Amino acid sequence: MTELTSTTSSRRRILAPPASESTARHEIAVQINGEAIEAEVESRLLLTDFLRERLGLTGTHVGCEQGSCGACTVLLDDVPIRSCLLLAPQIDGRSIRTVEGLAERDGTPNKMQQAFCDHHGLQCGFCTPGLLITLTSLAEREVPVTLDELDHHLDSSICRCTGYMNIRNAARYALGLMPPRVEDRSGERDGP
């Protein structure tokens, strides 16, 4: 398990359930990206909406709300899960890491994030946070990742823009499964 530093931020504004929300409330205490957070949530609030609407952590995206697309994938106690299929009260006492918590301590993008930039692994960027979560957890694993395993994990997210090729290349590179992309097409291209 990754050690998460606990810092309580007083700056974060945590929104409350709407007054007219009728379902039972729960007080939850959670670690989000290393920050201790206490919040009141209603029973039916999805974890995605807790992160996005109540905490303002909008890097976790909503693509289907039924577990298919992978855009909402976050780490729950370091394990990738679909945050659209969890209720916020279920995470009481647990830790969550979102795309906002992936960068290194000094703020530089982590290896997988950098590889996505270097290999043009994203276009619109909407599916990207979910993929980065899944792939970062692979990269942080102690047992080396095989190409087949990587392919298997890539199938857990839908990307509509890239055709996956550059994502695959970025991940292979960041996981040490291939040498850096040879930039053979960077020169001026003009005239036949």
Partner 1 sequence: MSEESPGYVGRSVPRVEDERLVRGAGRFVADLHVADAADVAFLRSTQAHALISRLDTSRARSMPGVIAVYEAADVVDQITPLVAAELRVPPGLAELGPINKVQPVPILANPEVTYVGQPVAMVVAESRYLAEDAVELIEIDYDELPAVVDLELAVAPDAPLVLIDEQDNVGVHIRHGKGDAARAIANAAVVVADTFSTQRHVCAPLETRGILAEQDPFSGALTVWSSTQTPHRLRDHIAESIDVLADDVRVQAVDVGGGFGQKGTVVVEELLVPYAARHLGRPVRWIADRYENLTADAHAREQVHHITVAADADGKLVAVQDRFLVNLGARNMTGLVVPYNALCHLVGPYQVDNVDIEATGVLTNTTFTSPYRGAGRPEATFAMERALDLLAIEIGMEPSELRRRNLIGPEQMPYRTGMLDRRGLPQEYDSGDYPELLSRAVDMIDLPSVRKRQSSPPAGGRVIGVGFAMYIEMTGSGPFEGARVEVTRSGRVRLYTGASSQGQGHRTTFAQILADSFGVDMADIDVVAGDTSRIPDGIGTVASRALVTAGNATRQAGHLLRQRVLDAAADVMESNPADLELNKGIISVVGSPTKSITLAELIRAVPHAPGGTGSDGLSETSYFRPPNYATASGAHAVVVEVEPLTGRVSVVDYVVVHEAGRIVNPRIADAQIVGGVAQGIGGILCEHIVYDPSGQPLTSTFADYAMPLASMIPDIRLDEIVCPSPTNPLGVKGLGEGGAVGPPAAIANAVEDALRRMAGADVTIRTGPLSPSRVLGLLAASPSLN
Partner 2 sequence: MKPRALDYVRARSIDHAIELLSTGADARVLAGGQSMMPAINMRLASPDVLIDIGRIDELRSIEVGSHLRIGAAVTQAEVAGHPDVLHRWPMLTAAIAQIGQPPIRNRGTVCGSLAHNDPQAELPAVAVALEAVVTSQSRRGTRSIPADEFFRGTFTTSLEDDEIVTAVDFPEPALGQGWAFQEFSQQPGDLATAGAAVVLNRREAAANRVVVFGVGVGPTRATLIEEAIRYTTDPSLDPQLVDRWGATLSPFDDAHASAHTKVQHAKQIVVRAVAEARGRMS
Where along the sequence are the contacts to partner 2 (CB under 8 A)? Answer: 22-24, 26, 43-44, 46, 49, 65-67, 70, 73, 76, 79-82, 84-87, 89-90, 92, 134, 152-153, 155-156
Name the residue among 26, 164, 33 with its Cα closest to residue 87. Answer: 26
What residues between 107 and 146 interact with partner 1 by CB under 8 A? 109, 113-114, 116-118, 120, 122-129, 132
9 binds partner 1 (CB under 8 A): no
149 binds partner 1 (CB under 8 A): no
Q: How far is the CB of 103 from partner 2 (least distance, A)?
A: 21
40 binds partner 1 (CB under 8 A): no
105 binds partner 1 (CB under 8 A): no
* Single residue of 100, 139, 149, 177 touching partner 1 by CB under 8 A: 100
- Measured CA to CA, the distance from residue 154 to residue 90 in angstroms comes to 27
Q: How far is the CB of 9 from partner 1 (least distance, A)?
A: 17
Q: How far is the CB of 92 from partner 2 (least distance, A)?
A: 8
- Measured CA to CA, the distance from residue 14 to residue 54 in angstroms comes to 5
SS3 89: helix
Q: How far is the CB of 165 from partner 1 (least distance, A)?
A: 5
* Integer angstrom CA distances of residue 140 from 110, 143, 144, 174, 175: 11, 9, 9, 11, 9
Name the residue among 29, 79, 83 with its Cα closest to residue 59. Answer: 83
- Measured CA to CA, the distance from residue 2 to residue 4 in angstroms comes to 6
- The type of residue at 164 is Y
Task: Please identify, using beta-carbon distances, which residue of 25 and 93 lies nearer to partner 1.
Answer: 25
Task: Please identify, using beta-carbon distances, which residue of 87 and 139 lies nearer to partner 2.
Answer: 87
What is the residue-wise DSSP string for 114-151?
Answer: HHHHHTT--SS-SSHHHHHHHHHHHHT-SSPPPHHHHH
Residues that bind partner 1 (CB under 8 A): 18-22, 44-45, 52, 56-66, 68-69, 71, 98-100, 102-103, 109, 113-114, 116-118, 120, 122-129, 132, 151, 154-155, 157-168, 183, 185-192
